[in-house]
Amino acid sequence: MKILLAGILALALTVGWSPENTHASVVTANIQVDDAFSFYISTSDTVPGTFIGSGDRWDLTYNFSDLLLTPHVVNYLHIMAYNSGGATGFTGDFTLSDTMFAFASGTQYLTTDLTHWTVTPYGSTGFGQNPGAPIMREGGIWMYDPGYWDHPATAYFSAQIYATPEPSTYALFCLGLGGLAVMKLRKNRRGV
């Protein structure tokens, strides 16, 4: 029995290691915001998280690369956008480096769309405060309260990035079930 358990443990450790586990997953982003923005990656839907960068020119596309994700948990892209003369919005595209994570779309690529992004209403002071769907306007997504087009506005846009189970996780689970089945079978053969 000890040899069987030692074999299962050795196999589990071998299966649990893979070259995929030795590097961090990253995201690449290209963002254009009306008028200014701050970009964060977080593990909370309500906390900004790690500051990535900012910009204050609506006519430029800002590029960010090799942005590290926190492994094995949901990560959030957070864009705090500010417009001094009306509602605010942005357009962008985001790419994941590998299949260790996926956007809510189930893929490694995300654009600014009405399905996978949320935005807070006018007057909100942070991420995750009564988020709703944005509206599409001029090729980008915008805060969804169109009654405030003529007032300065800050909007908090968010999208989720999900950690995907690794194949080795399934293998470990199956090995554990197999070990339990063998132990049960041996117990039944002994008549205990």
Tally Cβ neighbours within 10 Å of residue 88: 29
Q: Tell me, yes or no, whether 56 and 110 share the same domain.
A: yes
pLDDT digits (tens, 9 = 90+) for 46-86: 999 999 999 999 899 999 999 999 999 999 999 999 988 77
Q: Tell me, yes or no, whether 172 and 157 share the same domain.
A: no
Q: Tell me, yes or no, whether 84 and 179 share the same domain.
A: no
Instruction: Report the pLDDT value the prediction gives residue 85, as an integer from 0 to 100.
Output: 78
Peptide bond into 98 cis (omega under 30): no
Q: Tell me, yes or no, whether 125 and 183 share the same domain.
A: no
For 4, the 3-state DSSP assignment is helix
C-alpha dihedral sign at 77, 65, 53, 43: positive
pLDDT digits (tens, 9 = 90+) for 88-103: 889 999 999 999 999 9
Which domain range does residue 133 map to?
24-165
pLDDT band at 20 (very low <50, low <70, confident <90, very high): very low
pLDDT of residue 16 exceeding 70: no
Q: Tell me, yes or no, whether 13 and 70 share the same domain.
A: no
Task: Give rounded-to-5 percent helix, strand, coil for the chain.
Answer: 25, 40, 40
Q: Tell me, yes or no, whether 44 and 7 share the same domain.
A: no
Instruction: Report the pLDDT value the prediction gives residue 87, as an integer from 0 to 100.
Output: 75
Q: What is the DSSP code string of 125-190?
A: -STTSS-B--EEETTEEE-S-GGGTTS-EEEEEEEEEEEPPPHHHHHHHHHHHHHHHHHHHHHHHH
User: What are the residues facing 91 on neighbouring strands?
Assistant: 32
Q: Tell me, yes or no, whether 86 and 178 share the same domain.
A: no
pTM of the predicted structure, to 2 decimals: 0.76
Strands 75-83 and 101-103, bridge-based pairing: unpaired
Q: Per the structure, how many domains does the chain have? A: 2
pLDDT of residue 117 exceeding 80: yes
Q: Tell me, yes or no, whether 31 and 79 share the same domain.
A: yes
Q: Tell me, yes or no, whether 68 and 94 share the same domain.
A: yes
pLDDT band at 137 (very low <50, low <70, confident <90, very high): confident
Instruction: Report the pLDDT value the prediction gives residue 138, as an integer from 0 to 100.
Output: 77
Q: Tell me, yes or no, whether 69 and 128 share the same domain.
A: yes
Q: Tell me, yes or no, whether 139 and 57 share the same domain.
A: yes
Q: Rounded to 5 degrees, what are φ and ψ at 34?
A: -105, 110
Residue 90 and residue 33 in contact, taking contact as beta carbons nearer than 8 Å = yes
Instruction: Report the pLDDT value the prediction gives residue 10, as an integer from 0 to 100.
Output: 52
Instruction: Report the pLDDT value the prediction gives residue 21, as an integer from 0 to 100.
Output: 46
Q: Tell me, yes or no, whether 100 and 141 share the same domain.
A: yes
Residue 39 and residue 79 in contact, taking contact as beta carbons nearer than 8 Å = yes
User: Which has the minimum average pLDDT: 21-25, 152-156, 170-174?
Assistant: 170-174
Instruction: Report the pLDDT value the prediction gives residue 17, as an integer from 0 to 100.
Output: 44
